[in-house]
Amino acid sequence: MIKENLASIKAKLPTGVTLIAISKTKPISDVQEAYDAGQLVFGENHALEMRDKHEALPKDIQWHFVGHLQTNKIKYIVPFVALIHSIDSGRLLEAVDAEGKKRDRIVDCLLQFHIASETTKFGLDLDEAKALLESETFKNMHNVRICGVMGMATFTDDEAEIQKEFKNLHGIYDTLKQEYFGQAPYFKEISMGMSEDYAIAIEEGSTMIRLGSKIFGARNYNI
Ligand SMILES: *Cc1c(COP(=O)(O)O)cnc(C)c1O
């Protein structure tokens, strides 16, 4: 069904919205099946799982990291990662920068914002992001590039709430673009929208949707 799922999602996808297939917990064979159907962009939320899949699968796959990243795992993904969606502290960004320098790479990153009402989710608020972007430490980072923002809405059936949270993230993006990235054409991504809420996210200006179960089916969290 993976091929059919991809085809029906892509048929309705506006141009300018990138589909990231979130393959976490799914076997290599599922990723290969999606790849064979033409999908080249995948996302994972565990560093070692992403490294292992990267090693096993075709090298033209673009791997996006979407999970909470521990500093001691950065080294496993920096050599090949296409985009880290989940920068939620200055300390983490600094550590990615240091690893990028070691590997002679500029690592593309998004700042993750806490837009949900749940307190369990990770992310910065606007003031923290501004403090980070204005810091001397940030000005001395030459091996990371901030390409936009990412956020996860509250897990709820309340569509008005989800819409409000995505609008908030778009507003944060606009503020940062205006105040810090006006001259930076690479600052252009708003990563928002998952299997249950991506239609709302697209209406609210998402440029990257991250879909797992909609493509691969429900995940088995017991493994
Ligand atoms: C798991 C995950 C997704 C995909 O979730 P689905 O509901 O299966 O589409 C998207 N983004 C992040 C950050 C995730 O961890």
Of residues 222 and 47, the one with the higher pLDDT is: 47
Average pLDDT over residues 132-149: 98
3-state secondary structure the chain: CHHHHHHHHHHCCCCCCEEEEECCCCCHHHHHHHHHCCCCEEEECCHHHHHHHHHHCCCCCEEEECCCCCHHHHHHHCCCCCEEEEECCHHHHHHHHHHHHHCCCCEEEEEEECCCCCCCCCCECHHHHHHHHHCHHHHCCCCEEEEEEEECCCCCCCHHHHHHHHHHHHHHHHHHHHHHCCCCCCCCEEECCCCCCHHHHHHCCCCEEEECHHHHCCCCCCC
Q: List the chain domain ranges.
A: 2-216
Average pLDDT over residues 136-146: 98
Does the pLDDT value for residue 158 go beyond 50?
A: yes
Roughly what angle, to the nearest 10 degrees, separates helices 159-180 and 126-134? Answer: 20
Q: What is the pLDDT of residue 117?
A: 87
Q: Tell which one of 66, 112, 215 to mutate to probe ligand 1, the residue whose CB is within 8 A of the most ligand atoms.
A: 66
Taking only the tens place, the pLDDT of each residue in 18-54 is 999 999 999 999 999 999 999 999 999 999 999 999 9
Q: With cut-offs at 50, 70 and 90, classify the pLDDT of residue 223.
A: very low
**Separation of 1 CA from ligand 1 center, angstroms?**
19
Match domain 2-216 to its CATH number in 3.20.20.10, 2.170.140.10, 3.30.9.10, 3.90.1300.10. 3.20.20.10
Q: Tell which one of 210, 213, 214 to mutate to probe ligand 1, the residue whose CB is within 8 A of the most ligand atoms.
A: 210
Q: Tell which one of 18, 30, 45 to mutate to probe ligand 1, the residue whose CB is within 8 A of the most ligand atoms.
A: 45
**Separation of 212 CA from ligand 1 center, angstroms?**
6
CB of 45 closer than 8 Å to CB of 74 = no
Percent of the chain with pLDDT strictly greater than 70? 99
**Average pLDDT value over all residues in the chain:** 96
Ligand 1: nearest atom to the Cα of 210: 10
Does the pLDDT value for residue 169 go beyond 50?
A: yes
Q: What is the pLDDT of residue 118?
A: 84
> In what helix (H) or strand (E) does residue 207 lie, and over which residues does it extend?
none
Taking only the tens place, the pLDDT of each residue in 69-110 is 999 999 999 999 999 999 999 999 999 999 999 999 999 999
Poorest-confidence range of 121-125, 153-157, 163-167?
121-125
68 DSSP assignment: P
**Separation of 24 CA from ligand 1 center, angstroms?**
8
Of residues 221 and 74, the one with the higher pLDDT is: 74
Q: Which residues line the pocket of ligand 1, CB cutoff 6 A?
A: 22, 24, 45, 66-67, 152, 194-196, 210-214
Does the pLDDT value for residue 221 go beyond 70?
A: no
**Separation of 16 CA from ligand 1 center, angstroms?**
20
Does the pLDDT value for residue 145 go beyond 50?
A: yes
Ligand 1: nearest atom to the Cα of 194: 9
Q: What is the pLDDT of residue 185?
A: 98
